[in-house]
Structure 1
């Protein structure tokens, strides 16, 4: 079972890694030139936060999978919601940092927020610990959604320049 626990825990980090590949060049150039609110966390906090959150949500998904005895008809909704929110999570970075589509990134993260709430709601009757492991993620998404909104509001949308 440890292999399953490791696999579920590692899965969210795949999108995080590809997101890092994309953002590492955009942060010091494009992102630093945007107007951002004064309460924004420092850039060095983001990789630490996301590593912790991806690990926590991945392990939580393992707990739900284990309690449901694997992928079966009972797992469709709770793990389907988890997969959908993970897809929106992974999509936000290329939209925001890659395409520089601030409004679309805002729409994505609002949808992500709703899917995380729905995931937690569906998990609660299955595994309360898994649900609690998602609370820091939801808290961080509250911050990230607010930050995305403020950046969208304060920076006129511009198409990414063709290089």
Structure 2
């Protein structure tokens, strides 16, 4: 039961981060964001919520798997979890920079750091549990796409 509770705790934490990030996002989509020039590969707005929900569940499940191995490899699990928490905080920060401050340039530089921390989290997880690391690959792919999208929006609206 403790293993299931750990996984559920991390999933709920990730979903809560997503929810609180969406608060600043929601109000700006029909106003400020709607007026921005966007590249042709910008997805429709309805795509973001389901994609992020799936990604938060996957990353939470991955981190829960890592947490469940703390008795086997405490030092590496703690190190990996620190990277996970840093990237999760940076994930939330992006929404506040892009939508809250309405600053695509600052959000672009921040998402580069976010991508780096996700990759490092993936690398740390891979040393402990390959399945957990693989669960982060869709997230890494989406943030790669989001990085190009953020940079393009900044470029088109400078």
Give the alignment's TM-score, normalised by structure 1: 0.91
Cα RMSD between the aligned structures?
1.4
CA distance in 2, matches of 1:98, 1:71: 39
1:147 is aligned, of 146, 149, 153, to 149
SS of the counterpart of 1:91? helix
Q: Aligned equivalents of 1:70 and 1:100: distance in 2?
A: 45
User: More helix per residue: 1 or 2?
Assistant: 2
TM-score, normalised on structure 2? 0.94
Q: Is the 8 A contact 1:68 1:126 kept in 2?
A: no
Could you tell me which runs of 5 or more consecutive residues in structure 2 were left unpaired when the two chains were aligned: none
Q: Across the two proteins, how many residue pairs are aligned to each other?
A: 156
Q: Which residue of 2 aligns with 1:13?
A: 15
Alpha-carbon deviation of 1:5?
1.6
- Give unmatched runs, 5+ long, in structure 1: 157-163
Preserved CA contact (<8 Å) 2:11 2:60? yes
Whether the aligned pair in 2 keeps the contact of 1:37 and 1:150 (CA below 8 Å) is yes
- Per-residue Cα deviation, 1:27-82 (whole angstroms, up to 9, x for no partner): 00000100000111110000000000000000100001112229943323211111
Q: CA deviation at 1:24?
A: 1.2
- Return the alpha-carbon distance in structure 2 between the equivalents of residues 82 and 5 of structure 1: 14
Give the match for residue 64 of structure 2: 62
> After the TM superposition, which segments of 4 or more aligned residues of structure 1 sit over 6 Å from their partners?
none
**2:106 aligns with one of 72, 83, 104:** 104
Deviations 1:116-145 (A, max 9, x none): 111111111210110010000011001100
Query: Matches of 1:112 and 1:25 in 2, distance apart?
Result: 24
Map 1:12-91 → 2, pairs under 5 A: 12-69=14-71, 72-91=74-93
Q: Is the Cα–Cα contact under 8 Å of residues 105 and 148 in structure 1 kept in the other structure? A: yes
